[in-house]
């Protein structure tokens, strides 16, 4: 399992559109289970409702963990996506 910390810088936080795009990215990472941890809660990043339930606001530090598949490549892709969210 590989993990990395990333901070969401989007001024509006993680809302439906970018959460949906993140879910699409994660579902395309065959063989990898991606988990997002915010504070004390961890959720499966393949579930939009679970991601939205975290209430991630701008400036929030998240821990992204990837288990299975191409862990390093999958982790890099998810972290880059989260860093690129600007809306």
Choosing from 7, 15, 39, 55, the catalytic residue is 15
Contact 24, 6 (CB under 8 A): no
pLDDT at 69: 87
Which DSSP state fits 33? E
pLDDT at 87: 83
pLDDT at 1: 96
Distance CA 8, CA 65 (A): 15
Distance CA 5, CA 64 (A): 6
pLDDT at 12: 94
pTM of the predicted model as reported, rounded to 2 decimal places: 0.94
Distance CA 38, CA 59 (A): 12
Contact 36, 51 (CB under 8 A): yes
Query: pLDDT under 70 in the chain at which residues?
Result: none
Is 85 considered catalytic here? no
């Amino acid at each position: 399992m590989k993990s990395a910390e990333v901070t969401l810088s989007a001024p509006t936080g993680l809302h439906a559109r970018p959460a949906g795009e993140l879910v699409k990215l994660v579902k395309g990472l065959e063989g990898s289970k991606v988990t997002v941890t915010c504070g004390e809660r961890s959720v499966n990043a393949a579930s939009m409702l679970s991601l939205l339930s975290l209430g991630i606001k701008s400036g929030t530090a998240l821990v992204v963990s990837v288990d299975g598949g191409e862990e390093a490549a999958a982790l890099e892709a998810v972290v880059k996506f989260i860093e690129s969210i600007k809306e």
